């Protein structure tokens, strides 16, 4: 199983190899607009083995309060085979695995759509990611275009654990050299891309008696009524930690950790590194979690998610949720579980209650729709998304 | 064991649900003074599964030097069943689990008393916490009162691993809405609260030969004489990391991570987020650890612990220990182990040796006693506590 | 296996033990110049159990892109018995374990030499470290001297996993008290120190088919030609995180985390805490990793490594690699693997491409040789080293 190999001693060589500054290579990652071709499939590098301490650490980093992600006894008592990786972690990791191919040259992340968590990720699962280019929209010479991609996260059994769609804004190549080439399949064909349009979700058979006492008393299905706004009390000041957290999930876009890069940009992204949006989403979800999701048994997914303003270190973020729908779960689960759709809104540098007082209903109108509706955009608003949760009934 | 469930596709809903800004809920946690009733028992949410990498990470975060928390081989050679969770981690986690019920509305943490570590926490142990309200002292209209609580940390076998008492200062409700209600027991009775007044400590049967060579040469029982002051050489500059570390242990008090909240306060707590005291305690203990505790086999507990000044990011903390007592261990352990009581003193923005030179014996006088004794309070002093350790004899 | 012990209740004692400020001890670690004696062996304290989540966390902290350190399935498919600890982590941990004896009093780390990784470190391995003093060079009264040491990292089976040599600059004791004494061996003899001069490397028997698709397409052995310079695209801004990361690897030198200490120094080290060099090395290696090392199956070692300028929080570091040698691997491995030697250069506060444009070939000339060569030293250059990797052939 092992072998002992003797290598020649290492000798100093630098002085013996003449320096030739014209013999130089500049590997670059991400893709320029022209490099995206609809139908193309990217097999993303590295993969990621989920380990329990990382799973707990992620949940704690964003103060996610659902004991499924923190308490192994609780997770087992709910029917899972062990501690559950927070779906938000799965999303962050899968997206980050793809940045090197998908978006390391992106100018902006335009939106998240149709994200579906299709099965739990547990300790020792190894997740890899694939992306398929769905569409490329050019908007005229010199203008960045819009690329639509779909991404899958697969476990070591080739089962899809997450699928979602994303739109990104990407500039053309101009006179820059091309990026690092795609590894080409041996037979020249694109890898399989098993996106499913009407996918089933694989969940444990929940036991008759779910554990009691470790979740909030006011976050059962019956506690949510359509139209209600929930103001989450605490905010979170984001520090320089975000550079390290971007590294922690494996996102390779230099906008988030390289001040030379970020301060060299023009426009509103110029200056300090911008907080990677996945982290902002995670913090906001965490701020909301003890009010809305600690009695959930599954995060179904999200759609129409937009980062409407960037955040930087020093910003304090806060969150509000609005109940958009509440209905019984299907397939015989309805007696014990319901599905609640929340609109999650993030603001910065204003408390959530103050934001509601100041901006009122405009907070809940999509920023992209405001021009058509004749409403003012809100600079303090940083995020909007709709998310669906499968939540226990109090019974 | 698992089921495949098909959910309806998620459709965008926000525009279809009319926004009603009067239909709003503001969940708040912690308790106002009136909401504490002696005899009440809070079952705290979530729990926490201890995982080995987290246990090591905690010990490293505070540079705790006892190999029991860092070296699994060493821990086993000492008779433990595996890596030992640092008692300081157990304390931080148990206290933090309770913040949501106990102290998220607290104005100040007044003191720690009678903390006892009753058995080791190992990997895969899941710890939950309970608090009993012992006393509520009102101090007149408009003035915050003082609440005395006892807290227990229990493992998955319902064994108490830690018990301690705490006093906190809490304001009255005034015209604010009540906080989130207690979950009520099905039968209306309070949960059991197994505090033990004369508790035994469960320890491994230490092997005849303890491991040698990995601990300091000058921190055996025989090295400590009553009255001796030990000046710990290094300090630690606290950075903004403390916000993330507060999240890491699960402490939900916004004073420690929400600059909008902290800067909205009046008085000396106003401004940057205050470092959660449990973290300060941990850093000070770590700074002392290679001088006093790397040959300890158990941390028995602590009492009369006070955070006498707050710390913020940018402060450099340093520590001194004074030997208050040294005696043989009981029950046949005395031939090989002794009990040493240390007074641990923390200072900020002055080196430990300089603090001793500048403040002399006043450093070791309790700040609360100084008025009566006609002595000056020391602004640079941030912490004082008495701790007891079970320490190997050199033999 | 366990025992229940009843201890007397802890009572407050501080007020009962008279404070005597002359009864004081100042434990100090590290060694003054006179305290190093050639032939001396230090057995370093604590040790370190490697745990998988820590191993992944380390690789992620420095964005190391080789899936061996991130993806357990991949590591097994390459013939390893499980996830592999990044050699850079092994180096950082072993060096840090020794700081308390070797270099906590060092004024400067002068260089790394002849580092050899002799076998993989896997989860649950417990590593301890030994140092032997090889040479002490005095440079006259009042001047710091130069100490040459060799350090070994050993696993729980007493197998050497890493050996390297280091030179450090250390001041004399002057009128300061001696540091904490060495633990003396029972028989007065020095511990064994199993450094091997022509050591074999123990590697797995690589399977006939190595995994495909998770590593970069342009970092196979065939992609590297001697003399080529590779400019790594992204930089990394270092934040205050470095204080916590110094703690995380267990380095006890206060220069890296105690602002009172660092600002009390004179010269160019005065001011903010200096980033521990091992962390800088790790970040630079990480920035280079997807271009040069994600198809490596082993890191053989490094030599002639110098930190030529210090870094502090706020600095942005970037990296370049130059190919110094490429040859077939020995012992029948040559058909499938080659050995590539890279010169790794680090710069700060300038992008890697800009540094090449500005400083040209001088970037690759050793700073120590520049005086003799009549070339200018480069303030923006922070690091230089030669490293050897065993890299897959594309085949």
CB C236 within 8 A of CB C247: no
Mutation for testing the A interface, residue in B259, B273, B276, B314 having most A CBs under 10 Å: B259
Closest Cα of chain C to A96: distance in Å? 12
Flag if B28 and A83 touch (Cβ within 8 Å): no
Q: Please provide the average confidence, as pLDDT, over all residues in chain A.
A: 96
Distance from C222 to chain B by nearest Cα, in Å?
Answer: 39
pLDDT grade for C77, boundaries at 50, 70 and 90: very high
Work out the pLDDT band at A1, boundaries 50, 70, 90: confident
Testing the interface with C: which of A1, A8, A11, A13 to mutate, by most C Cβ within 10 A?
A13
The string of pLDDT tens digits covering residues C315-334 is 999 999 999 999 999 988 99
Per-residue buried b or exposed e for A371-395, using 16+ beta carbons within 10 Å of the residue's own CB? eeeeeeebebbbbbbbbbbbbbbee
By CB atoms closer than 10 A (0-12, 13-18, 19+), residue B391 is buried
| Contact between C257 and B240 using a beta-carbon 8 Å cutoff | no
Selecting from C1, C15, C244 the residue whose C-beta is nearest the C-beta of B204 gives C1
pLDDT band at residue B189, thresholds of 50, 70 and 90? confident
Segment holding C336, helix H or strand E: none
How many other β-carbons are positioned within 10 Å of the β-carbon of residue B379? 11
**pLDDT tens digits for range B278-309:** 999 999 999 999 999 999 999 999 999 999 99
The pLDDT of residue B185 is above 80: no
> CB C114: neighbour CB atoms within 10 A?
18
CA distance B299 to chain C (A): 12
Extract the tokens encoding C362: 């001088």
* The predicted structure's pLDDT at residue C239: 98
Average pLDDT over residues A218-230: 97
Q: Residue B80, Cβ neighbours under 10 Å: how many?
A: 20
| Exposure class string for C150-180: b at 16+ Cβ within 10 A, else e | bbbbbbeeeebbbbbbbbbbbeeeeeeeebb
CB-based contact C201 A4, cutoff 8 Å: yes
Distance CA A68, CA A154 (A): 21
Q: List beta partners, residue A296.
A: A391
Which residues of A fall within a CB distance of 8 Å from C83?
49
- A183 has a pLDDT exceeding 80: no
- B61–C248 CB contact, under 8 Å: yes
Chain A closest-CA separation from residue B218 CA (Å): 34
Q: Each residue of A118-139: pLDDT tens digit? A: 999 999 999 999 999 999 999 9
pLDDT in tens, C335-359: 999 999 999 999 999 999 999 999 9
Q: Quick check: C184 pLDDT over 70?
A: no
H or E stretch at B340: strand B337-348
Residues A80-118 have pLDDT tens digits of: 999 999 999 999 999 999 999 999 999 999 999 999 999
Q: What is the pLDDT of residue A268?
A: 77
Distance (Å, whole) CA A70 – CA A42:
33
Residues of A in contact with C65 (CB under 8 A): 45-46
Please write the tens of the pLDDT for every residue from C270-282: 899 999 999 999 9
What burial class does residue B353 get, using C-beta atoms within 10 Å of its C-beta: 0-12 exposed, 13-18 middle, 19+ buried? middle
In this predicted structure, the answer to whether residue B355 has a pLDDT above a threshold of 90 is yes
Tell me the per-residue pLDDT of B236-250, one tens digit each, with 9 for 90 and over: 999 999 999 999 999
pLDDT tens-digit profile of B58-69? 999 999 999 999
Rounded to a whole number, what is the distance in Å from the CA of C3 to chain B's nearest CA? 5
How far apart, in whole angstroms, are the C-alpha atoms of residue A293 and residue A270? 36
- Summarised one tens digit per residue, pLDDT across range B199-250 is 999 999 999 999 998 999 899 999 999 999 999 999 999 999 999 999 999 9
| In the predicted structure, residue B268 carries a pLDDT above the cut 90 | no
pTM for the full model? 0.97
pLDDT value at position A186? 59
pLDDT at C180 over 90: no
Q: What is the mean pLDDT of chain B?
A: 96
Structure tokens at C137: 């060079």
Yes or no, beta carbons of A3 and C202 under 8 Å apart:
yes
Which residues are within 8 A (CB) of B353 and not within 5 positions of it... i.e. 6 or more apart? Answer: B231, C26
Contact B53 C51 (CB under 8 A): yes
User: Cβ of C318 and A247 within 8 Å?
Assistant: no
B330-345 mean pLDDT? 96
In whole numbers, what is the pLDDT of chain C averaged over residues? Answer: 96
% of chain A with per-residue pLDDT over 70: 99
- Nearest CB among C57, C217, C234 relative to A254 is that of C234
Find the closest chain A residue to C373 by CA distance.
A15
Cβ–Cβ below 8 Å for B198 and C9: yes
Please tell me the distance from the alpha carbon of residue A87 to that of residue A64, in angstroms, as a whole number.
11
pLDDT at A211: 95
Give the tens place of pLDDT for each residue, B103-148: 999 999 999 999 999 999 999 999 999 999 999 999 998 899 999 9
Name the residue in chain C with its Cα closest to that of B368. Answer: C15
Question: What does the pLDDT read at residue B186?
Answer: 59
pLDDT higher than threshold 70 for residue C185: no
Q: Hey, what are A137's tokens?
A: 């929209």
What is the DSSP annotation of B66-135?
-GGGT-HHHHHHTT-SSPBPPHHHHHHHHHHHHHHHHTTTEEEEEEEEEEEE-S--BTT-EEEEEEEEEE
CB pair distance less than 8 Å for B10 and A229: no
What's the CA gap between B146 and B120, in Å, rounded? 32
Work out the minimum CA distance from B64 to partner chain A, whole angstroms.
19
Percentage of chain C modeled with pLDDT above 90: 92
Confidence class for position A51, pLDDT limits 50, 70, 90: very high
Instruction: At A93, give phi and psi (nearest 5°).
Output: -70, -45
Calculate the alpha carbon distances from C302 to A5, C202, C297, C352 in Å. Answer: 17, 17, 15, 22
Given phi > 0 = left and psi -120 to 50 = alpha, else beta, which region is A314?
left
Q: In this model, does residue A187 exceed pLDDT 80?
A: no
Cα C171 to the center of its chain, rounded Å:
22
Residue C148 pairs with which residues in a beta bridge? C135, C167
Identify which has the larger pLDDT, A268 or C55.
Answer: C55
C-beta atoms of B10 and A303 within 8 A: yes
Distance separating alpha carbons of residues A83 and A50, to the nearest angstrom = 11
What CA–CA distance (Å, rounded) separates A165 from A173? 24
Q: What is the mean pLDDT of residues B84-88?
A: 98
Residue A182 has pLDDT above 90, yes or no: no
> How many Cβ pairs within 8 Å bridge chains A and B?
226
pLDDT at A269: 78
Residues of C in contact with B316 (CB under 8 A): 258-260
């Amino acid at each position: 199983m092992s072998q002992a190999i003797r290598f020649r001693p290492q000798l100093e060589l630098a002085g013996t190899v003449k320096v030739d500054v014209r013999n130089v290579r500049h590997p670059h990652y991400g893709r320029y607009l022209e490099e995206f071709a609809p139908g193309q499939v990217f097999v993303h590098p590295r993969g990621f083995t989920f380990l329990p301490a990382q799973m707990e650490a992620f949940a704690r980093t964003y103060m996610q309060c659902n004991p499924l992600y923190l308490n192994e006894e609780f997770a087992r008592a709910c029917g899972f085979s062990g501690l559950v990786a927070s779906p938000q972690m799965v999303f962050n990791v899968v997206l980050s695995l793809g940045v090197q191919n998908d978006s390391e040259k992106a100018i902006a992340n335009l939106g998240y759509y149709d994200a579906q968590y299709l099965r739990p990720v547990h300790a020792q699962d190894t997740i890899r990611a694939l992306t398929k280019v769905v569409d490329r929209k050019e908007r005229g010479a010199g203008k960045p275009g819009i690329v639509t991609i779909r991404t899958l996260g697969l476990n070591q059994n080739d089962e899809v654990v997450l699928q979602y769609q994303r739109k990104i804004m990407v500039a053309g190549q101009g006179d820059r050299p091309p990026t690092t080439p795609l590894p080409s399949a041996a037979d020249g064909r694109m890898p399989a891309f098993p996106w499913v349009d009407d996918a089933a979700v694989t969940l444990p058979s929940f036991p008759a008696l779910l554990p009691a006492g470790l979740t909030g008393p006011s976050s059962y299905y019956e506690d949510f009524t359509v139209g209600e706004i929930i103001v989450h009390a605490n905010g979170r000041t984001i520090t320089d930690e975000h550079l390290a957290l971007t590294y922690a999930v494996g996102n390779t876009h230099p906008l988030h950790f390289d001040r030379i890069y970020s301060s060299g940009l023009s426009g509103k992204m110029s200056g300090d590194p911008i907080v990677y949006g996945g982290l902002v989403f995670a913090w906001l979800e965490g701020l909301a979690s003890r009010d809305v999701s600690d009695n959930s048994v599954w995060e179904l997914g999200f759609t129409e998610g937009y980062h409407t303003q960037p955040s930087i270190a020093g910003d304090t973020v806060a969150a509000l949720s609005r109940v958009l729908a509440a209905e019984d779960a299907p397939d015989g689960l309805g007696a014990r579980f319901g599905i609640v759709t929340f609109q999650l809104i993030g603001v910065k540098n204003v408390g959530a209650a103050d934001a509601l007082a100041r901006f009122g209903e405009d907070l809940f109108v999509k920023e992209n729709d405001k021009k058509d509706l004749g409403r003012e955009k809100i600079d303090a608003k940083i995020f909007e998304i709709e998310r669906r949760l499968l939540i226990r009934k109090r019974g």
